[in-house]
Amino acid sequence: MYRYDEFDINFVNARVDQFRDQISRRLNGDLTEEQFKPLRLMNGLYLQLHAYMLRVAIPYGTLSSRQMRQLAFIAERFDKDYGHFTTRQNIQFNWPKLEDMADILTHLADVEMHAIQTSGNCIRNVTADHWAGVAADEVEDPRPYAELLRQWSSVHPEFTFLPRKFKIAVTGAPNDRAAVAFHDIGLKVKENEDGEAGFEVLAGGGMGRTPVVGVTIRDWLRKKDLLAYVEAIMRVYNLHGRRDNKYKARIKILVMDLGADEFRRQVDEEFAKIDAPEVLLPEEEIQRISAYFAPPDCEKLDDNDSTLDGHLKENTAFRLWHDTNIATHKIPGYAIVNISLKPIGGIPGDANSAQMRIVAELAERYNHDEIRVNYEQNLVLPYVRKSDLFQVWQELVDAELATDNLGLVTDIICCPGLDYCALATARSIPIAQEISNHFSDAGKQREIGDLKIKISGCINACGHHHAGHIGILGLEKRGQEYYQITLGGSGDENAAIGAIVGPGFSYAEVVPAVDKIVDTYMDLREEGETFLEAYRRVGAAPFKEALYAAH
């Protein structure tokens, strides 16, 4: 795992000291809110509906047990004993006091964490495939490059005041679990014809009010050119990106305006101007950072474990969980354990301090001290021996963390919505809870199969509704909550934006509408066809018919 070097430590500590001073000047009245707001946002501090909210970065979604324990401590001591894991590999605390903020940041800095790059018009916390380094389908662990980008961007003066926030995601696998096509820049490690690993570079993707699937602007890029090439993209963006209209300031608008070819041409032109691009990213530096991400000492094990097979035969609940929540590991005898933070009827992404501590403890005992958080608001233990799975599951059951629904209809992505968020136009969490309760039956969920429902409480789309197989967007109409449903979106390697199915629904009509959509799919699907495949085959017509024909 990455450990701060002296530069990082000093940098983060200096930022905490600086912010401590700014907070006390705010509290004693030397700074007005107008002056203070940009400063607090640079430190991840928002003002939401009920209170301040602190958004803490979990770079590329990797945490140690010690860090997870510190988050639990902060939740317990300074908040209301819980935190919310977001769709961008961050954690949010919903009730911290401004008066405590500098202390909280000091506690975070003690475990090499911070809230920088979680807000404001900068390059945001770089996100990565949560199975990075362990997934069986991976070409290479992309996290060293996420870390290189983090280091490079966090101190780069040109990138502190961009036209708008800027999001980068990386994946090392052909199956995209990081939604790279929905980022300002998406990077995919892949091999060229000679078998050399490099990057496919996508640009101009994003959600929000104008959802766009990013386009490939470079099919394959040498690794050592990474920073130079990203710099070239940033230069073109900084030069032309609109600062006059915040809705038009994202790079996606620029790529659309210029057209992908012209954008690519300009980036290439800038790139050509950078002398010796590899100076920005010398091989030794790649090696140095990669060393931090070297896999832990795993044992040489047989891939089949007879005790596991025995438990799977004897224990149905364990088998159900194993079927949905375990993914194939690249190392024989190991498994990737996905911990669902979507209990039936619960709040997607929320975890209390006791649960955080249990996960920390499990990671320490069974998992080389490493935890991942993913953009689908779940947690991952990436290195569990197959022979330990039963034990781990039992402990998760005791902590109410063994919900067996990964990728199923109740594994819903959901933003905080109007229950917390100052920008929201409607509630999203209770909609998620009602859908989850409605489809709570384990057998029914499995019968429905892979289905991603994603819910946002406003057009900003933090709940990724555009990329939901079923997307739900909360709006307001004449003072009432009102919901638009989209179908056919996808955040994977075949990224697509969902299409609005028709007129919206009142709060009470949403669950029945989702139910009709699911029923329609189950009636028309062919053998083995997932919701998304069926939708792509038949289009929206049968769903419209089911939803609106009777009206």
418 binds another protein (CB under 8 A): yes
- The CB-of-165 to ligand SF4 minimum distance in angstroms stands at 12
481 binds another protein (CB under 8 A): yes
- The CB-of-1 to ligand SF4 minimum distance in angstroms stands at 29
What residues pair up with 170 in beta bridges, in sequence order?
128, 187
- The CB-of-462 to ligand SF4 minimum distance in angstroms stands at 3
For residue 477, the partner it binds in another protein, ligand SF4, none, with Cβ less than 5 to 8 A by kind, is none
Residue 403 and residue 338 in contact, taking contact as beta carbons nearer than 8 Å: no
For residue 458, the partner it binds in another protein, ligand SF4, none, with Cβ less than 5 to 8 A by kind, is ligand SF4
- The CB-of-27 to another protein minimum distance in angstroms stands at 6
For residue 456, the partner it binds in another protein, ligand SF4, none, with Cβ less than 5 to 8 A by kind, is ligand SF4
Q: Which of 113, 103, 101, 134 is nearest to 66 (CA)?
A: 113
For residue 522, the partner it binds in another protein, ligand SF4, none, with Cβ less than 5 to 8 A by kind, is none
Dihedral, 387, 391, 393, 397 alpha carbons, nearest 10: 170
Please report the beta strands in 121-221, taking only residues with DSSP state E, as ranges in sequence order: 127-128, 168-171, 185-191, 197-203, 215-221
- The CB-of-429 to another protein minimum distance in angstroms stands at 5
Mask: binding to another protein, 30-59, rule CB under 8 A, as x and -? --xx-------------x-xxxx-------
Q: What does the alpha-carbon distance between residue 497 and residue 512 come to, in Å, rounded to a whole number?
A: 23
**Percent of the chain as helix, strand, coil, to the nearest 5:** 45, 20, 40
The DSSP output letter for 212 is B
Residue 201 and residue 217 in contact, taking contact as beta carbons nearer than 8 Å: yes
The DSSP output letter for 86 is -
- Specify the residue, 46 or 199, whose C-beta has the smaller distance to ligand SF4: 46
What residues pair up with 379 in beta bridges, in sequence order?
339, 373
492 binds another protein (CB under 8 A): no
- Specify the residue, 71 or 101, whose C-beta has the smaller distance to another protein: 101
Q: Which of 170, 147, 188 is nearest to 59 (CA)?
A: 147
509 binds another protein (CB under 8 A): no
Among 295, 333, 343, 430, binds another protein (CB under 8 A): 430
Q: What does the alpha-carbon distance between residue 356 and residue 352 come to, in Å, rounded to a whole number?
A: 6
Among 478, 479, 526, 549, binds another protein (CB under 8 A): 479
Half-sphere exposure (Cβ direction) of 209: Cα atoms closer than 13 Å: 9
Residue 149 and residue 183 in contact, taking contact as beta carbons nearer than 8 Å: no
Mask: binding to another protein, 70-99, rule CB under 8 A, as x and -? ----------x--------------xxxxx
Angle at 92 between CA 86 and CA 96, to 5 degrees: 165
Residue 38 and residue 120 in contact, taking contact as beta carbons nearer than 8 Å: yes
Which residue stretches of 241-388 are H helix? 251-258, 260-273, 283-292, 306-314, 316-325, 353-366
420 binds another protein (CB under 8 A): yes
- Specify the residue, 258 or 344, whose C-beta has the smaller distance to another protein: 344
**185-191 sheet: strands from edge to edge:** 127-128, 168-171, 185-191, 197-203, 215-221
Which of these ranges, 188-196, 233-241, 270-278, 425-433, lies near another protein under the rule CB under 8 A? 425-433
Q: Which residues bind ligand SF4 (CB under 6 A)?
A: 415-417, 421, 423-424, 456-458, 460-463
14 binds another protein (CB under 8 A): no
For residue 462, the partner it binds in another protein, ligand SF4, none, with Cβ less than 5 to 8 A by kind, is ligand SF4
Mask: binding to another protein, 335-374, rule CB under 8 A, as x and -? ------------x---------------------------
Site residues for another protein per CB under 8 A: 26-27, 29, 32-33, 47, 49-52, 80, 95-99, 347, 418-420, 424, 427, 429-430, 433, 479-481
